[in-house]
């Protein structure tokens, strides 16, 4: 199956190391999201290992998740509070739950893991279906910088040690706004591959997806601390409502 067609591939490859060092602190996201729930049920798409969902639930909110990877769900279940959190294994674009939810959120650039405009549009349509009236859909993504993909192909050296080496290769399709990334590690046990793909979009393109689904942008910030968003911002937190 192609990396573009397997929603659970990322989790199968990365679940065991997903909570390793270097990940962003979830606390600012939790502080931002908790008031939007207004004490009502919450849904996280691509809940992963529960980095945001579990501390949000610890504040007394009823949090549910959707996750394509059983391996990610297993990591969540092993954490305090994880065994009790309702999680549906499925494609987040389908939003395979009934709702309604006062808050739905999708963080860590994961919207772009849906690797076609059609699947991203389906995600917005299905979120609109399960949102309570006036409910909020919050997304966090990076703002694409064309300088990051000024060449169709890129090779980066990630790590070199006495007994291993890791390189990362990218191939971009700028017309389709997609890329395929392969992380390759060479060590005494052989060659290890971790493929990954994304379909990136600019904020105004995401706004268009929302509008087509009957949602409207009500707030946009550069980060979880509500720093004003401007032309120099490299990421955005966007709040859409029915």
pLDDT computed for residue 3 by the predictor: 56
- The per-residue pLDDT for 5 is 61
Angle, vertex CA 177, rays to CA 95 and CA 48, nearest 5: 35
pTM, entire model:
0.90
Contact 239, 217 (CB under 8 A): yes
Using CA atoms, how far apart are residues 105 and 64, in angstroms rounded to an integer? 11
pLDDT of residue 185: 93
Specify the pLDDT at position 35: 97
What pLDDT sits at residue 2?
A: 54
Q: Which residues of 57-68 are buried (b: 16+ CB within 10 A; e: fewer)?
A: beeebbbbbbbb
Stretches where the chain sits below pLDDT 70 are 1-15
Per-residue model confidence as pLDDT tens digits over 70-103: 999 999 999 999 999 999 999 999 999 999 999 9
Q: What is the pLDDT of residue 164?
A: 94
In order of their start, the domains of the chain are 3-144+201-241 (3.40.50.150), 146-197 (2.20.25.570)
């Amino acid at each position: 199956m192609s990396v573009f067609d397997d929603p659970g591939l990322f989790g199968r490859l990365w679940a065991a190391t997903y909570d390793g060092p270097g990940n962003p602190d979830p606390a600012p996201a939790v502080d931002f999201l908790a008031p939007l729930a207004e004490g009502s049920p919450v849904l996280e798409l691509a809940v992963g290992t529960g980095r945001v969902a579990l501390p949000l639930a610890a504040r007394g909110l009823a949090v549910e998740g959707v996750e394509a990877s059983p391996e990610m769900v297993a990591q969540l279940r092993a954490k305090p509070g994880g065994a009790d959190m309702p999680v549906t294994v499925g494609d987040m674009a389908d939003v395979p739950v009934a709702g309604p939810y006062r808050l739905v959120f999708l963080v860590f650039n994961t919207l772009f893991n849906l690797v076609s405009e059609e699947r991203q549009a389906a995600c917005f349509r299905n979120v609109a279906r399960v949102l309570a009236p006036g409910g909020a859909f919050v997304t966090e993504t990076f703002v694409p910088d064309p300088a990051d993909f000024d060449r169709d192909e890129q090779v980066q050296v990630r790590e070199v040690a006495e007994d291993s080496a890791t390189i990362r290769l990218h191939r971009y399709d700028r017309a389709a706004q997609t890329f395929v990334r392969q992380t390759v590690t060479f060590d005494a046990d052989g060659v290890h591959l971790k493929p990954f793909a994304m379909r990136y979009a600019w904020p105004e393109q995401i706004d268009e997806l929302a509008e087509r689904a009957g949602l409207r942008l009500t707030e946009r910030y550069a980060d979880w601390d509500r720093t004003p968003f401007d032309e120099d911002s490299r990421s955005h937190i966007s709040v859409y409502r029915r």
